[in-house]
Structure 1
Amino acid sequence: MTFGFVENTIIDRNTIKLIRSQAAKGRNVGKKHPSRGRRATIKADIAKSDYKTEHLDSRNHHMVLPTIELQFEDSLSVFPLPVESTPESRTPVQKAFEFLISVPHKPGLGNAIDFSVAGSIWIQFWFVDEAYFHCFIATSIAAKNLSTTNPEDSTEGLSHLSDSLRLVNQRLSEGEALSDMTLASVVSMLQYERMCGQYYQALIHFRGLQQMVELRGGISQLMKEKPELAQKISRADLEFAIYLGSSTRFSVDDVPGVATLNWLRERLGTSQISSLLTSQSFVQLNPRMKEVWTDIMSLTWFLNENVDDSIKMDGYTYHDTLILILISYRLVDIRPLNADPANSLENIIHVRLLMIMANFLLSLMHRLPDLPLLRQQIGALVQEEFTDDAENK
């Protein structure tokens, strides 16, 4: 930056413009600023989006976020953050935002599932809540280090995590334990801990979160008020149950969504599964296992055969209702993994069906979660089948 001298005995309009121009160059050099008309358009887009956000889709509970052209060097420049941004923090913040808006899902599902609106409430929390913001920055940094053979210094991530814990504890002591943002921050901590394999530490936080949900009126009430928040909590509940081999802490009967499942069943019909319904293995199962197996067939048939873009299933319904609640929850409810199987046939089918559904439960890192107990049971079944085949030869 060059320096210039002005005559201060007579300051006219041109001199004032020169002074302001020179003063602004120090912090704004290299930046591109939209015109006044463009800034007005941006504000109008945000205001329009805020109006849409207040009017939720009554069936799918979607919240619409603004679509804004990138005006500055990064996509966050037009939005205020819950913390003061510095030049040093710009890169990790930008990477965390890109990590936040990436929706984990299996490749090839784009023909049947629309993921474009998934996760909107979590993006909004990121822009307004400091505790959630800090925790997701830490999660983003940890995810990057876990996915590379040359991890970077984790000091910054741990600092963000410490800030998040401090803010949450402050809210708990000040009587804000039941707010949406406090629950969202704890959910984010659970995501961080599960991603890092710290399941037993996360379980302590989850028990506290469960008490908070009960004080909010239970998971059913939370589902009505904040469905996206309730479904993330249910996802954590399911992962703990599969990881530990225990029952879920929330009941599948408390969670709505039967209408979507009925829609899938009607689309499938009986012609596609006629051979399954008459098979000897299927006939020997108990009614609950038959029902879940049929529903999994309905889902997989829809995902494999659907090529009509006009009947895409939205991401909320796909992940949070079908995969998480109405199918996987019921599988765990039929028999937790640490329970003794009623018979060998049901055990084989139960583990295989749970293995199919676990393949859809991708983590934030777009990977399958580490579920050692399920992995052990799959290995035991493979070994048992291998032994049986060897003995029959």
Structure 2
Amino acid sequence: MVTAISPRPKRHNLAFIVNSSIDKPDAKARQLIRSHVMRDKNRRKPPADASKLKSWINEESSQTSVALSDLYFPLPVHIGSGMPLTQLACDMPPYALDLVYKFFTVLLQQMYPIELCLSFDLQHSVWIQYLALDPLYCHSLLWTTQTYFDWLNGSGVSPIQIQHAHQTLVGLRERLTLDAELATSDATIVVVVSLIMMNAFVGDYKSARKHVRGLHKMVEMRGGVRAFGGNTQIQLKMCRADLAMAIFTNRKPLFFSDGICWEPYIAKNTSRKTLPPHMAALDSNLLHIWADLREFTRSANLAFQTGQKIDCVLFQEILVSVQYRLLLLDVSAGSLDEVVLVGMLAFATNIFLQMQGLGMRFDNLSARLRGCVSGLQGLGDDATAELKLWLLFVAWMPGGASKQNSWIGAELKKTLGILALTKWEVVRDRLKRYLWIDVLHDKGGKDAFKNATENLLQTLRSSEIDI
């Protein structure tokens, strides 16, 4: 089982930047900001612990605790129902403080399937710490959060959203053009990542793609993704943005494009005997990715059954490794390799990039998945039909019974009929031969089965009478 327990973070000396007006911080404050946000560039990495699982991104022992600065520890301030925050780097009226509270109590925990992960340690999260260090980050957070709640309420673009957008973009432009040192700092990169995800969320992929190219340039100026090994939270966030845009736009990701390790990351058993028989000829690199995902799902199911949790950093490392390999692997169009690859990519995307409750639409990926399902038409053997069954359930998961998924219900009904499956328990056993996480997929899977079989049993019985 893949598990990791994070040690209790150590307390450090106190250092604050408090700006209580809309003016820029004075020279002394700016110097202190710079000294903190630039710290991670030159920090010596701690020695590797051979007992821990190696980090796929950094190719060294994974760090289970991440500190923004050895000199910084946030001062607790309570907002709302007692959420620990810190003194802020910019003045915030009550409505803005409420947005910050909602972000850290609602949005942040919607980004990951919290049933699988450890609870976030907000007190020691870099996202809390940046609020005390960087006014630009404060404004970008307010812009992102206001945009989300405006969208959720169906109110369109509000004047407050425009105000925060203006403050963020003007501040970012000034930093990129006037302050070469802060321009590529961790905090500035976090702001750019937020712009990427926010633009992608509202469907402005052109702007998001432009920001991804800018992010890639900034990261390369710092020495590449692995140069951020001392700040795992930001490292994973930038990879998340790169992967999301690659899937949204049906392009290759920008990071790791110069070469990655294709070997299994967490799987010890990569024997082809563990595959369903009809997948025995799978490409060797694809086999390694399948084995990793298979091991991840087994660990997740075991963790849930025993009341344990998978560490959030480890959880993300596994899925980052899986998605980069899937997106950078070239396979023959129309082959079984492509069918399995797209199915795995959709499965992993729904776990890693799909924010719970939002139903983000990855239209290009959905179209590829539908094409793969169509490509299996006419292959009437039970093994192929079983693979198609799993693909259909994977396709159903993000949107459920939506208009975009209307084709899935018809295909699912047809495939269940071919396999003569009329009980959910039997269907679930078939699906678990592939990739399936009980706590995440059982409810949606049962709903899909119920939707598809409302008239199936009656149809089968009528066929028996006709015979």
Q: So what's the TM-score if we normalise by structure 2?
A: 0.60
Say which of 306, 323, 329 aligns to 1:328.
323
Kept in 1: contact 2:200–2:208 (CA 8 A):
yes
Partner of 2:301: 304
- The question of 1:167 aligning with 2:171 is answered yes
The Cα offsets for residues 222-257 of structure 1, whole Å up to 9 and x where unpaired, read as: 3x2433222211111111222222222111677799
The DSSP-based 3-state class of the residue aligned with 1:83 is coil
Say which of 190, 196, 199 aligns to 1:193.
199
**1:48 counterpart letter in structure 2:** R
The separation in 1 between residues aligned to 2:262 and 2:285, in whole angstroms, is: 17
Q: CA deviation at 1:120?
A: 1.3
**2:312 counterpart letter in structure 1:** G
Matches within 5 A, 1:1-393: 48=11, 59-63=62-66, 68=76, 70=78, 75=82, 79-87=86-94, 89-99=96-106, 101-106=108-113, 108-109=115-116, 113-117=117-121, 120-148=125-153, 150-151=154-155, 154-174=158-178, 175=180, 176-222=182-228, 224-251=229-256, 262=265, 264-266=266-268, 269=269, 275-277=273-275, 279-307=276-304, 312-319=309-316, 321-324=317-320, 326-335=321-330, 341-363=332-354, 366-386=357-377, 388-389=379-380
The Cα offsets for residues 47-74 of structure 1, whole Å up to 9 and x where unpaired, read as: 93558x999987424247769584x766
The separation in 2 between residues aligned to 1:291 and 1:304, in whole angstroms, is: 20
Structure 2 CA distance for partners of 1:386 and 1:144, relative to 1, 3 Å = farther
Gaps of 5+ in 1: 1-45
The separation in 2 between residues aligned to 1:121 and 1:257, in whole angstroms, is: 31
Q: CA deviation at 1:306?
A: 2.6
The separation in 1 between residues aligned to 2:87 and 2:157, in whole angstroms, is: 27
Kept in 2: contact 1:247–1:332 (CA 8 A):
yes
Kept in 2: contact 1:195–1:364 (CA 8 A):
no
Q: CA deviation at 1:214?
A: 1.0
Kept in 2: contact 1:220–1:254 (CA 8 A):
no
Q: CA deviation at 1:75?
A: 4.4
**2:286 counterpart letter in structure 1:** M
Q: CA deviation at 1:368?
A: 4.8
Q: CA deviation at 1:87?
A: 4.2
Aligned length: 325
The DSSP-based 3-state class of the residue aligned with 1:359 is helix
Q: CA deviation at 1:358?
A: 1.1
The DSSP-based 3-state class of the residue aligned with 1:217 is coil
Gaps of 5+ in 2: 1-8, 15-35, 49-61, 68-72, 381-413, 419-467
Q: CA deviation at 1:366?
A: 4.9
Structure 2 CA distance for partners of 1:285 and 1:79, relative to 1, 3 Å = closer
**1:138 counterpart letter in structure 2:** W
The separation in 1 between residues aligned to 2:223 and 2:364, in whole angstroms, is: 33
Q: So what's the TM-score if we normalise by structure 1?
A: 0.71
Q: CA deviation at 1:285?
A: 1.6
Structure 2 CA distance for partners of 1:131 and 1:332, relative to 1, 3 Å = same
Q: CA deviation at 1:274?
A: 7.4
Partner of 1:34: none
Kept in 1: contact 2:77–2:87 (CA 8 A):
no
Q: CA deviation at 1:209?
A: 1.4
The Cα offsets for residues 7-29 of structure 1, whole Å up to 9 and x where unpaired, read as: xxxxxxxxxxxxxxxxxxxxxxx
The Cα offsets for residues 277-315 of structure 1, whole Å up to 9 and x where unpaired, read as: 4x4433212211111111111111111123476964210
Structure 2 CA distance for partners of 1:47 and 1:248, relative to 1, 3 Å = closer
Structure 2 CA distance for partners of 1:60 and 1:255, relative to 1, 3 Å = farther
Kept in 2: contact 1:331–1:354 (CA 8 A):
yes
Structure 2 CA distance for partners of 1:169 and 1:75, relative to 1, 3 Å = farther
Kept in 2: contact 1:99–1:140 (CA 8 A):
no
The separation in 2 between residues aligned to 1:194 and 1:218, in whole angstroms, is: 23
